[in-house]
């Protein structure tokens, strides 16, 4: 008799799963979450572009360090971050932590964000924060490929970024919350 109950429970779970998989409401929820994530990416991208343009206007020079690149990718910052999210599946929190890390690094080094360094800063910061924040991560080869740099260069950038951050990526919860709320508020005022 107990065996039948287990089968019935298992059959019920399977039927619920089939209903969820075919339900238009579940697909709507998935799309809604995805849209909200891409709005977050858009708000982050927009802020980075605003900072870069302010630095350009003020004629702040970007140091030619290992993150500097003469050749700027043809992708926009939004397309670049979206590509990273699409192919690596990073969490929203990891993306926000990555931006916090970039900000912290720029403050420590007194360097400025420009189109010449932002792409390498993004992929390196994401790669490091995935290791710090997520349970599962892909190999550096995938991140290098998605970031459009060599695996060797990513490894060098990872070492340099981490050492410049004094070998810590820890972010206080109130700082994270501040960034999270800022980007969420910015995203609410945007459309995809």
Q: Which residues are CB-neighbours of 51 under 8 A, at least 6 positions away?
A: 113
Mean pLDDT, range 46-70, rounded to an integer: 89
Among residues of the chain, what percentage have pLDDT more than 70?
82
How far is 51 from 34, CA to CA, in rounded Å? 26
Give the model confidence (pLDDT) of 139-190 as tens digits. Answer: 899 999 999 999 999 999 999 999 999 988 899 999 999 999 999 888 888 7
Residue 191: per-residue pLDDT: 64
Mean pLDDT, range 124-128, rounded to an integer: 96
Whether residue 58 has pLDDT greater than 90: no
- What mean pLDDT, rounded, does the chain reach? 84
10 Å Cβ neighbour count for 3?
7
Reported pTM: 0.80
Give the model confidence (pLDDT) of 3-51 as tens digits. Answer: 444 444 444 444 444 544 554 544 443 444 477 888 999 999 999 999 9
Which CATH number fits the domain that encloses residue 129? 1.10.472.10
Number of domains in the chain: 1
Nearest to 54 by CA among 140, 115, 120, 10: 115
How far is 156 from 149, CA to CA, in rounded Å? 11
Q: Tell me the residue range of the domain where 81 lies.
A: 2-188
- Helix, strand, or coil here: 137? coil
Residue 103: per-residue pLDDT: 94
Q: What residue spans of the chain are helical by DSSP H?
A: 2-22, 24-57, 77-88, 92-109, 118-133, 140-147, 151-164, 173-188
Residue 7: per-residue pLDDT: 42
* Three-class HEC string of 174-189: HHHHHHHHHHHHHHHC
Q: Are 85 and 39 in contact (CB under 8 A)?
A: no
Mean pLDDT, range 44-73, rounded to an integer: 90
């Amino acid at each position: 008799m107990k065996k039948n109950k287990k089968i019935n429970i298992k059959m019920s779970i399977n039927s619920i799963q089939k209903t969820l998989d075919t339900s238009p409401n579940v697909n709507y929820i998935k799309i809604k979450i995805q849209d909200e994530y891409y709005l977050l990416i858009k708000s982050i991208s927009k802020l980075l572009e605003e900072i870069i343009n302010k630095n350009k206007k003020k004629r702040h020079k970007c140091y030619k360090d290992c993150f500097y690149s003469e050749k700027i990718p043809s992708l926009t910052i939004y397309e670049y971050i979206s590509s990273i999210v699409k192919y690596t599946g990073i969490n929203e929190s990891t993306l926000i932590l990555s931006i916090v890390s970039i900000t912290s690094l720029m403050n420590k080094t007194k360097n400025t964000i420009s189109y010449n360094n932002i792409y390498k800063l993004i992929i390196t910061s994401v790669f490091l924060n995935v290791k710090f924040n997520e349970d599962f991560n892909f190999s550096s080869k995938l991140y290098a490929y998605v970031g459009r740099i060599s695996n060797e260069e990513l490894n060098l950038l990872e070492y340099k970024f981490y050492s410049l951050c004094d070998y810590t990526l820890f972010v206080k919860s109130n700082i994270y919350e501040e960034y999270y709320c800022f980007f969420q508020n910015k995203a609410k005022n945007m459309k995809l």
